[in-house]
Amino acid sequence: MVLAVDIESLRTRKLRKQVGQKTFTRGCQYFASGRVSEARRDGDDVAGIVTGSGREDYSVRIQLSSKDGTISRSECSCPYKHGICKHRVAMALAAHADPTLRQAESAGWGRILDEAEEVAAEYAGVEEAEDRLVVRLDLPLNPDDVLTARLLRTRFTKRGRGQERVLSAPVLREALTKDSDTLGLKRIDEVVAARVAGLMEEDDEDDTRLIATDGNLDLFLRTLSRVQEVYLGDTDRKLQIRLEPVRPRVRVDSLKNQGLSLKIQIIINGKRRTLDKRARVAGEPIAYWLFDGENTLLPMAGSPGIGTIVFGLSRKQARMPLREVPTFLERGLRRMRDIIRVEADPGVLPDVHSPEPLLILGEDGENLKVQLSFRYGDPVELQVMSESAPEVLRAPDGHEPLFVMRDLEHERRALDAARDAGLPVTDSPGTFLLDTPSALAFLEDHLDGLEGDWMILGRERLQRFRTKHLTPHLEGTIRSGIDHFDVNLELVVGRSHYGLDALLQLYQSKRRYLATDDGTLALLPDEWVSHHLQIAMELPQILVSGGIGRVPRYHAPVLDALIGDAPIQADDDWKRLSERLRNFAGLTDTPLPEGLRAELRGYQKHGYDWLNFLGESGFHGILADDMGLGKTVQALTWLALEYESGRAEHPTLVVCPTSVATNWINESNRFTPNLTTLKLTGPNRDKLYTQVKDTNIVVTTYALLRMDLARLQRRNWHCVILDEAQNIKNPESQTALAAKKLKARHRLALTGTPLENSLIELWSVFDFLMEGFLDEKKNFKSRYVRSGAETPEDIEGLRIKVAPFMLRRLKDDVATELPPKTEQLIKVPLMPEQQKLYDQVRALAKAKVYATIQDRGMQGSTVTILDALLKLRQVACHPDLVKLEIAADVHESGKHEIIHDLVEELVAEGHRALVFSQFTSHLKILREWLDTEGIGYYYLDGRTRNRQDLVDSFNDPDGPPLFLISLKAGGTGLNLTSADYVIHMDPWWNPAVEAQATDRAHRIGQTRPVVVYKVVAENTVEEKIIELQDKKRELFESVVEADGIGGGALTIDDIRSIFDD
């Protein structure tokens, strides 16, 4: 087999023409694919075997021309008899490729010469007689005119040139699609130029003339740069077309009369030339070309519009007298420089001078006057004081320089700085008047910062606006009454005295200054004013009365925060109370009651001391410790002290959820066995009422509080304790109204979540504890609740007011012995059919919701919206929860696939888990699967009666691995520390409810790390619930645990945003 080589390197030019392109290509393919299996030299012939397409071998014999490499004689055994076949071509290529098969010169020089001679012979005679392209250009008379061209063909011989023959537009267009031979031109540059001309428009009156439009002018002229015979019109002046762009410039020179002259110049080959009226411009406004007036046509570099300037100033140089120079400098020169380069000798054009910005202060009545101006010139001063000032300033006659150009960019930067400093600046300097508040803000906060941009003058001449920085303080007296304090306070600034209502005036006027007795303005620290104003607004009666009045005893913390370290004259009662309020860590170390059978942790002892402080001071409060920190034992310890000391003359009533009623009895019997207890529940409780008077602690439920209110409110109680006090968070509820009717010496609220959704919940609890403490409900709402969403104006005073009466500790801070708790959010995609169902339910619900909103408005559509959200949440949990026909055939749930895996893994590894859901029907679906798998569990919901028995059995080491619990029924009051895993099958709007449920396992007594799984359906309404939980958590932490406040209750807007997304 003969090896294939690069065919392009072989001498095949004549061979290709001889056999035709098609046969040559097939022969190349045969040769390249190795089908020449044998080739040998036989005399002057080359003989061998070529394998055909059917794998049949053919005998081939050829003889090659030594002159041009063509086949001069050949034979082939193939059936093809109509000329040279592909097999012979393949053999010829093999002969060309193998020097041993032909008579080849060493180094291949012979082949190279052969090919060169072929080309030379083919084009022999071109120089002696040749048709050449002639182009005649008619240049535009003005920039709005067009360039036209005529293309002609003429024969050139050694004896000269022949007659020019027109190449008409139809002929040129025809050459675009046909062989270039139709033009009769040989030179490729001329062929290209002619073909480009075929793209040009034809003159309507003369088909020999072509019009170069803006779209093709540049391309056409660039192709002509390689054409030799280009002429100006019908003349013999040959044009030179250059491709290097030229950049025209305007030359400005001085005239003897101090005027200016303008002319156009260009630089070609390093030489500067001034253009005259012979110059032409073509291509306005896209691609500019310039004719220099002699014999050169070349492109121009520059901005749109440059052609108009070049043409205009080349026609006639502009000569302006002195009186026109300012107008040109101001209005023309800047605009001209934006389009074309402007050149002049030094001193001909004025320089741009840097200004000296001046800011001059003065007074105009009660206003501050601020004058801004720019000063130019040296030694002669030229002032810019308003927008009417020209951009070019002229000096008086006889002074140099005669003209000064303003630095508008420098001026703009200075004016921007003044504007940023609060001055009502436009785009020009001027004079501005500032009223007193604005003036003080400017002088104190911004003026010094302008010294880097402006020279400031006149500050020392100010009279009215002389200022002092003074820190106020309070002076006055406080005298104690039985349940109040009589106060007389005044605000002192330097040597000037004001009523406390001056703070209110500062707030209403949004000022932070007061006029003093010596005529100066006292600038008060904004932080001091804001702090004291915020606190004083919690004592509105004192604030409005100028600092004189009576303050209820339970507002002592606010009064103490307002006074701070001020030199107030007060009696001993106030001083003792103030000291205790300021240092809760230093509360009286009260001895523990003798009958206590518990060892209190440090924080529990502090809580007990705090409860004793409240009792001794006649206050009431909220013990808001985190879930699982022992609020019950702290309350029981204090009650034991009250009864041992003899201060308690009546029973104590504990109102709690049904789920924890028994726990109160058990805890009291365990830790305070000397206290007698009575569980006032059940259908036969009427008989128990006779025992109340002889009992220390009576336990009932919120439901029975409403039912037995008539009996309970007739009695005098030593203390009423509301456990899980969030049950009265709605101040309009029957439960809250009933609780507030009970008569007691002391009142105590226990809750780990005193604030869940809205600040009004906190108000409701405190209204039970100390009526009027947080003002009337309507006043509280008007200040802290707007449009149904919490947006407090300022809550520092509120936080200070409630802080002494609400004690909260977190497990992370005090119960350091608790094992860690890890929370993991598991996002689960819906199953395919479940996703389709979700989309269908969403579309149906959305149409119904929007129709209802349009008909009833947002407020009237709440039920419809909530129902739509409920259905979407149910689909996200499990399609079997949805009672719709479209859901009848869908039974797959991505969430349950994950939950099943979690349960199986936990059980296999010996863990125990609490499983919560807000839907009992959701728990039912899981129960059916557990029954099928044979996995043991307990179940608790609102109908469960033997709750404590289930708890005890589950906590037993032999108890089942799972406890399925309804979130609402079992989220509080249960101690389930035998579980170390918690699974929330679906999220609830309020994170506090979920946290309470989780803390059934993560509480004191837990010895193992607790892992919490929150299973959420991805890209569903459940993800929006998680987002809303974060807002609720922010609200809780801000008022109960932190220094700020934010967030708000679930509003219709919240629901709508969830639904629309």
User: pLDDT-derived band of residue 1046, with 50, 70 and 90 as boundaries?
Assistant: very low
Question: What integer pLDDT is reported at residue 1042 of this predicted model?
Answer: 37
Specify the residue for token string 């001679």. 117
Q: At 675, give phi and psi (nearest 5°).
A: -85, 135
**pLDDT tens digits for 117-146?**
665 655 554 456 788 999 999 998 887 788
CA–CA gap between residue 304 and residue 339 (Å, rounded)? 7
**pLDDT tens digits for 333-349?**
888 888 899 998 887 88
Structure tokens that stand for 191 in this block: 């062929």
Question: What integer pLDDT is reported at residue 622 of this predicted model?
Answer: 95
Would you give the DSSP letter of residue 815? -
Question: What integer pLDDT is reported at residue 789 of this predicted model?
Answer: 40
**pLDDT tens digits for 258-288?**
889 999 999 988 899 999 999 999 886 666 8
Question: What integer pLDDT is reported at residue 741 of this predicted model?
Answer: 95
Over residues 921-950, mean pLDDT: 91
Question: What integer pLDDT is reported at residue 284 of this predicted model?
Answer: 66
User: pLDDT-derived band of residue 1, with 50, 70 and 90 as boundaries?
Assistant: very low
17: pLDDT strictly greater than 80: yes
Specify the residue for token string 């409860």. 611
User: pLDDT-derived band of residue 668, with 50, 70 and 90 as boundaries?
Assistant: very high
375: pLDDT strictly greater than 70: yes
Which residue would you say has higher pLDDT here, 858 or 621? 621
CA–CA gap between residue 273 and residue 965 (Å, rounded)? 98
CA–CA gap between residue 82 and residue 72 (Å, rounded)? 16
Which residue would you say has higher pLDDT here, 379 or 686? 686
**pLDDT tens digits for 990-1003?**
777 888 888 888 88
**Residue 639 CB-density burial (10 A; 0-12 exposed, 13-18 middle, 19+ buried):** buried
Q: Which residues of 955-986 are buried (b: 16+ CB within 10 A; e: fewer)?
A: beeebbbbbbbbbebbbbbbbbbbbbbbbbbb
443: pLDDT strictly greater than 70: yes
User: pLDDT-derived band of residue 962, with 50, 70 and 90 as boundaries?
Assistant: very high
User: pLDDT-derived band of residue 651, with 50, 70 and 90 as boundaries?
Assistant: very high
Q: Which residues of 1019-1049 are buried (b: 16+ CB within 10 A; e: fewer)?
A: ebbbbbbeebbebbeebbebbbeeeebebbb
Q: At 287, give phi and psi (nearest 5°).
A: -115, 105
Question: What integer pLDDT is reported at residue 68 of this predicted model?
Answer: 81
Question: What integer pLDDT is reported at residue 1031 of this predicted model?
Answer: 63
181: pLDDT strictly greater than 90: no
459: pLDDT strictly greater than 90: no
Question: What integer pLDDT is reported at residue 662 of this predicted model?
Answer: 85
**pLDDT tens digits for 886-909?**
888 888 998 999 899 899 988 988
CA–CA gap between residue 841 and residue 1018 (Å, rounded)? 16
**How much helix, strand and coil, in percent to the nearest 5, is found in the chain?**
40, 25, 35
Strand order in the sheet with 392-394: 352-353, 403-406, 392-394
Measured CA to CA in angstroms, residue 970 lies from 527, 730, 754, 776, 997 at distances of: 47, 21, 19, 35, 7
Over residues 188-208, mean pLDDT: 88
Structure tokens that stand for 728 in this block: 């009265």
Question: What integer pLDDT is reported at residue 1051 of this predicted model?
Answer: 53
CA–CA gap between residue 865 and residue 232 (Å, rounded)? 84
Count of CB atoms within 10 A of residue 811's CB?
19
CA–CA gap between residue 627 and residue 630 (Å, rounded)? 8
Asked whether the beta carbons of 38 and 51 are under 8 A apart, the reply is no
Asked whether the beta carbons of 259 and 327 are under 8 A apart, the reply is no
H or E element at residue 950: helix 947-955
**pLDDT tens digits for 195-204?**
999 889 888 8
Structure tokens that stand for 185 in this block: 């031109």
Q: Which residues does 170 contact at the CB level (< 8 Å), separation at least 6?
A: 207
Structure tokens that stand for 65 in this block: 């021309």
> 3-class DSSP state for residue 195?
helix
Lowest-pLDDT range of 318-322, 472-476, 816-820? 816-820
**Continuous H helices in 5-79:** 13-19, 21-32
Question: What integer pLDDT is reported at residue 397 of this predicted model?
Answer: 66
User: pLDDT-derived band of residue 790, with 50, 70 and 90 as boundaries?
Assistant: very low
CA–CA gap between residue 375 and residue 419 (Å, rounded)? 19
- All structural domains of the chain, each given as residue ranges with its CATH number in brackets, are 7-122 (no CATH), 129-241 (no CATH), 249-344 (no CATH), 356-461 (no CATH), 467-582 (no CATH), 587-814 (3.40.50.10810), 821-830+893-1019 (3.40.50.300)
Question: What integer pLDDT is reported at residue 398 of this predicted model?
Answer: 60
- Average pLDDT score, the chain: 84
Portion of the chain with pLDDT greater than 90, in percent: 35
Question: What integer pLDDT is reported at residue 763 of this predicted model?
Answer: 92
Full-model pTM = 0.49
Question: What integer pLDDT is reported at residue 115 of this predicted model?
Answer: 60
301: pLDDT strictly greater than 60: yes
Question: What integer pLDDT is reported at residue 1043 of this predicted model?
Answer: 33
CA–CA gap between residue 75 and residue 533 (Å, rounded)? 118
Cite the beta strand spans of 657-742 per DSSP E: 677-679, 697-701, 716-723
797: pLDDT strictly greater than 90: no
User: pLDDT-derived band of residue 793, with 50, 70 and 90 as boundaries?
Assistant: very low
Over residues 311-326, mean pLDDT: 87
> 3-class DSSP state for residue 639?
helix
**Residue 145 CB-density burial (10 A; 0-12 exposed, 13-18 middle, 19+ buried):** middle
Q: At 451, give phi and psi (nearest 5°).
A: -65, -25
Question: What integer pLDDT is reported at residue 982 of this predicted model?
Answer: 93
CA neighbor of 135 nearest in space, from 219, 198, 227: 227
Over residues 289-293, mean pLDDT: 91
Question: What integer pLDDT is reported at residue 1032 of this predicted model?
Answer: 55
Lowest-pLDDT range of 187-191, 282-286, 991-995, 1027-1031? 1027-1031
User: pLDDT-derived band of residue 781, with 50, 70 and 90 as boundaries?
Assistant: confident
691: pLDDT strictly greater than 90: yes
Q: Are strands 621-623 and 743-750 parallel, antiparallel or unpaired?
A: parallel
Which of 527-541, 581-595, 1041-1055 tops mean pLDDT?
527-541
Asked whether the beta carbons of 524 and 513 are under 8 A apart, the reply is yes
CA neighbor of 620 nearest in space, from 599, 641, 635, 605: 635
Over residues 869-883, mean pLDDT: 90
Lowest-pLDDT range of 803-817, 824-838, 839-853, 924-938? 803-817
Over residues 464-468, mean pLDDT: 81
